Each structure stands twice: as structure tokens, then as C-alpha cells.
Structure 1
Amino acid sequence: MKLPKPRKRGSSYDITVTFQGKRYYCTRDTPKECEQWAALKLLELKSGKVQENLGVKQHYPFKQLFEQYYQEHGRDKKSKTWIYGQLKTFDDKFGTLAQMSIHEITPKHLTAWRNKRSTEVSPNTVLKELSLYSAIFSYAQKELFLIHDNPWMGISKPKKPKARNRRITDTEINLILSAFGYSEGKVLVLPQHYVAWAFLFALETAMRRGEILSIRREHVFEKHVHLPMTKNGDERDVPLTKKARELLKLIPLENEKIIPQSENAFRLMWERTKNKIGLSDLHFHDTRHEAITRLVNQQKLPVEILAKMTGHKTIKVLVNTYYNPDVGDIADMLD
């Protein structure tokens, strides 16, 4: 069978091979790498077909399936950075299970892995990882037709923990600003100033960290910020308070990207600094809880209007997860 020619796509190349009516695709840095992949893929497919006809299931390691899933699906998802991180640490996380054939992996194997993993990370992290690995096996089942059943569907999930109810005090805000060497109204000069600025901006807008990091100059308007892509896949316009508009004026005009740091650099700076001052239990996402609670308590925003601002499609999630008034706040409203 004649190999197809690689096609240039931006700074990389891609190639597609067809076998028995199915197409297989990959992207590589050079044409030669594409051709090598295509030759090996065709050899693998032909070998697998012969074995299948003889009733023999081809050895297909879990990690190899993950790599193929990433190349064909994972790299195009919004969470591609996180998925790539999972792939990089896969061997350490799964041990011998990483090289076990997907035909041999059973719910019993996965239950043992889940129990071990539950002693290492939070239930939320386990749930997030279970969702990814189950999707990978669904891909093998429904798109590659390598397996008949998804063993991840045969294990029980950890109980989802209660939503966080973490408020942020004025004292903690001052501690954060001081740790980053920043004070409100100050022009942004150093990288750490942008982290402190983003913290204040999040408290005013209830925007997620990733949303703030994605803002470009062209997205900023007089009274709102336009987000062309959000976590739920939709665009959103976020109205700005007077303080939020003042904060935006502090960003240097030459900044095409409002926050110049990469997501990883920003995250590391935030984590190291807040841990250093004894606020390890504070998550950046807690600013979203705090901002939403303040918008209700202080701005008296109706919940249906608030949902438009925050991007929540389900009012129940907004009210039960993100609105965290204390009993004193509610008593004040009654009066």
C-alpha cells in the first residue's frame, strides 16, 4: 500500500492513513516523522487484523491508548494542558497498569487503583481523573472498536465532597497584596504585581482565573469585558463595576494580553506566595465565591441577572455552590 504524503499545517505536518474504511490521523514536527508513523500504523493495523481473524486479541497497552487519544482528541480540547500533564505523569500514577493491555484491565484492577489514588489526592481530583480515563476507554470502545465494554463503568465513584464555603476577609486581602509587593492603585511593573491585580479583579468580576488570563486588549470595552470562550464553551460579556474599570486602567497600554504571564507561571507564583504567608487553604477560585456573595449582599443583584454575569446555566449551582452568605448577612437582609 502506497503511503500518503504529509501535509504542512502551520509549523507542523499531518498525515492520514486509511485502513478498511477507517481513517487514522497524526500530527508531527517533520514530514519524515509523519511517514514513519504512517508506515508503523499500517503495519500495526494489518498485524492486528490477522490476529483478530485468528481470534487473538492484540496487546494494546493502556498508555499507548492514552497517547493515541491525546493525539486525536485531547490536544484539541480546552483542557489540553491538564490532559498533557496527566499523560506526562501517567507511568508514575499507574505503575504496571500503564503497560497492561486494555483487553486485560478489569474493574477489579481499576478499583484497586482508585483506592490507592484516594489516599494521595482529594476526592475531586480522583473524580476528575476517573472522568478522563473513562472517556479514553469509551474512545477505544466506540471509535476504535477495540473493546466491547468500558471497565471504568464497572467501578463506583468517590462521594463528591461538599462545596467549599471559604470566604475571604479584608485582612487576608491585605496579606496577599503585601506578599506580592503591591498596593491598590499602583501601576503594574513586576510579574507578581499582575498576580495581585488579577486577585483584586477576580473579587470584582467573579471571573475564573483562566478567563482573566485569556483577556486581550481587544476584549476590553468601556463597561464590560467580552470573553469569546469560557469553561462551558459559550462566549460571555462580563459587566464591570466602577472599581473593576479603574483596575483595567492600571494595565499598561502596550499590553496586548492583559496578563503577560503564562498560565503555569501565574499558578506557580500564586501557589508559592500564598503558601509562604500561611494561606495554603486559600484557592484562587475562592475569589469567585467571594465575589458572587458580595454582589448579592452589597449590589443586591437578582440571581437571574447574576447568572448572566457569571455564566452559570443552572441557577441551583449558582445558589448552592457559589453564594455563601453567613447567618449575619441573611439577618441584615431581613432588616
Structure 2
Amino acid sequence: MATIDQRGPHQFRARVRRKVGGKLVTLTETFETREAAEKWGVTRDGKVVGDEYVDRKEARSKTVAQACEWFMDRIAPIDTTTSKRVAKSQHAKNQLSKLKYWITSEFASWSLVSLKPWDLIDWRDQTMDEEGCSAQTIVHRLNTLSQVYVNIALALKIELANPVGEKVRPSLGPGRDRRLDVHPDKDGKDEEVRLLEACASSSRPWLKAAVIISLESALRQSELAGLTWDRVKLNAEYPHCDLPRTKNERPRRVPLSTKAIAAFKSLLPENVTVLGKRPVFPVETPRAFGHAWRDVVKDETFPDFRWHDLRHEAVSRLFERTDLRDNEIMAISGHLRPEMLTRYTHLRADRLGGRLG
């Protein structure tokens, strides 16, 4: 136990003396109030013997909704002129909808320390069974809630058990594996040719170029939507585009193939000498690509084909058609961890035969 000595009107000295490993350890500190001295004494006494006191009062008094609102203020502060939230990044913008979900969820009024993994497992199963929510959506919501717990614990300097622990997230399964069909139809056209022809007939003159760029660069929808001409270096020694902000909050440089360069050049506005920060595509949100896509890519002609499948096709081609190492492909695609590419490694299995002798 700590010893508290009053040494003046507003001077309280706390002293902790413990014998650890045969050695006497003494810690002292002076405070203006006895309460502060006692709190420090309890905490320090625990540090000496490895049984640190944890004050969970603040965590108990804060609800899940309050914590989510606190996190919203950090990633998307309110603009005082418009009274609207302004997300600091595309990733933050994506998190906002998940935070709003938790603020109106059944757990909104729960204390942060009351929410347990089994509560979330029950919620997960019920949401997936009764509401038909996909596993991917559940994972996104849980990941955002996990970030709330991690960040608020660090900000408050408290130990706070994260309820989004092991076995809480649902299994995502093997993932989609839709590829462009290389077999020609009765007219001798494979699926890529037919897709580009369909896009060329779209009312959006930029759609065909967007599809080509996506297939050649593996850029995400959000990255295409946020791309400006000052980031596209077509005349560089090694043409590329720079992405200062990505889904993973990490900048990256994407090399451009001959086809990608031609597609970008087809989008250059006429009679404009200085492009600057002019957007490459005339869209306001990433969803515009999906809307344009659905207008021309019908299930009867392109069964179960989504825009995001273009990125999967692009990464698959990097494995099939190049000798790039996995880490080099990661640098192009923006994947963070090698294990995220394991679903593509089978595409090079046939090359291993040459190493067997």
C-alpha cells in the first residue's frame, strides 16, 4: 500500500515501497490533492509487482453510441460552415455508415465494458439469418467497431477489452472468382471483346476507357473516382499514376501498360492545355461506375459479372502473364499482406514443374 504524507496546505506526497527480487524499490511523487496522490499510489504499487490497478470508471460511463460519435469526430469532423461531417479520407467515409449503424443498434446504450464477444456472435447470427446480411457486410461493421474500441482505449489510456475478438467475425469463404471467359462465342468474340463493345455503346463515353484502365492497372472504383490529371504521368520515362490516398490509407504508384496509356489519352479533354487537378472521370462518387456498368452489363449477356471482378481479373493476369514477384504485384494492386494474394498463387502452379527437375 502507498503511504500518503501531507507536507503543506496543497502538498501530498505519495510513497510506494515494495521488495521485488530481494531489492527494495521506492517510488515517490507529490500532488496537490490527497485523492490524486492515492490514485497514483495504487497505480504505481501495482506497476512494481506486476498487478497494475485499472480504473474502469470512465469506460463504464461511456456508451457504445458515445464512443462511436467520438470516433466520428476524429475521422470526419463537422464543418462549422456547413454543419456537415467531412471525412478525412475515402476509408473514413466508408466507416461513417458503419458507425451510424452502431449508433442506432441494440447495443447503442450499452456501456463499453458490457459488450462481450458472445453478444456480438448472437447479433451476427441473427443479422445474417433473419435480415439476410452478407458475411462481408458483417465483417465491415465489426472491423469498424473494433477500431472504435482500439482508438478510444488509447485515447483514454485505459485497458478496454475489445469484444471483436477471435471467432466473432464470420468466415468469408473462398471469395468470388469470376473471370472473363476467353472462349469465343459463335461470332468469334471472347467475353472481353463483347464487354468493351457493350461499354462503347454506353451513354457514358468514358466507360470503355475506365474498364480498360481497371483491367490493366487493378485500380479500385474509389481510386478511379478520385483520380485527377496531375496524378497521371503519361509522358514520364515510365508512365504511371500516383495515388496519394487509397483504401488502405497508403500512397502507391501504379505503372501503366500501353493499353492503359491509350485509354487515358482517349479521355484527354480537347482544347485544354492545363489539366491540373481536373478529374479524369466526370463522376462525383465511386458508385457512378457501378451505375454506368449496370446499364450495359446485363445478366443475360454477362452472367454474375460485377465491376469489382475487373480488379480480380487484373490481379489474376499479373500472376499469369508476368514474372513479377508477389511483393511487386502487391505494390501495384495495393494489397497490404502477402496472405491476401494466396488465392492467386495457384495461377502459377504450372511453372513449378520446371523447378522439379
**TM-score, normalising length: structure 1:** 0.65
- SS state at 1:249 partner: helix
Correspondence 1:108 to 2:118: yes
Which has the greater radius of gyration? 2
Count of aligned pairs between the two proteins: 271
The separation in 2 between residues aligned to 1:286 and 1:56, in whole angstroms, is 46
1:9 is matched with none
- Candidates 258, 263, 270, aligned match of 2:286: 263
Q: How far off is 1:148 after superposition?
A: 4.0
Q: How far off is 1:68 after superposition?
A: 1.7
2:71 is matched with 69
The separation in 2 between residues aligned to 1:312 and 1:87, in whole angstroms, is 24
The 8 Å contact of residues 124 and 138 in structure 2, kept in 1 or not, is answered as yes
- SS state at 2:176 partner: coil
- Candidates 258, 261, 268, aligned match of 1:245: 261
Q: How far off is 1:157 after superposition?
A: 2.6
Where does 1:13-52 land on structure 2 (aligned, <5 Å)?
none
- SS state at 2:215 partner: helix
| 79-88 or 268-277, which deviates more | 268-277
1:317 is matched with 340
2:222 is matched with 210
Q: How far off is 1:203 after superposition?
A: 0.9
- Candidates 301, 306, 324, aligned match of 1:283: 306
2:316 is matched with 293
The separation in 2 between residues aligned to 1:103 and 1:312, in whole angstroms, is 34
The separation in 1 between residues aligned to 2:349 and 2:330, in whole angstroms, is 23
The 8 Å contact of residues 127 and 157 in structure 1, kept in 2 or not, is answered as yes
Where does 1:7-156 land on structure 2 (aligned, <5 Å)?
60-73=62-75, 75-90=87-102, 94=105, 96-119=106-129, 120-144=132-156, 148-153=160-165, 156=168
Matched residue type, 1:269 = A
Change (3 A) 1:288 1:127: same
The separation in 2 between residues aligned to 1:148 and 1:328, in whole angstroms, is 49
Cα RMSD after superposing both structures = 3.8
| 246-255 or 289-298, which deviates more | 289-298
Change (3 A) 1:210 1:323: farther
| 118-127 or 271-280, which deviates more | 271-280
* Structure 2: 5+ residue stretches without partners: 1-54, 77-86, 183-189
The separation in 2 between residues aligned to 1:325 and 1:294, in whole angstroms, is 9
**TM-score, normalising length: structure 2:** 0.62
The separation in 1 between residues aligned to 2:321 and 2:165, in whole angstroms, is 45
Q: How far off is 1:217 after superposition?
A: 1.0
- SS state at 1:114 partner: helix
Matched residue type, 2:137 = T
Matched residue type, 1:149 = A
| 280-289 or 143-152, which deviates more | 143-152
Q: How far off is 1:307 after superposition?
A: 4.0
The 8 Å contact of residues 254 and 332 in structure 2, kept in 1 or not, is answered as yes
- SS state at 1:237 partner: strand
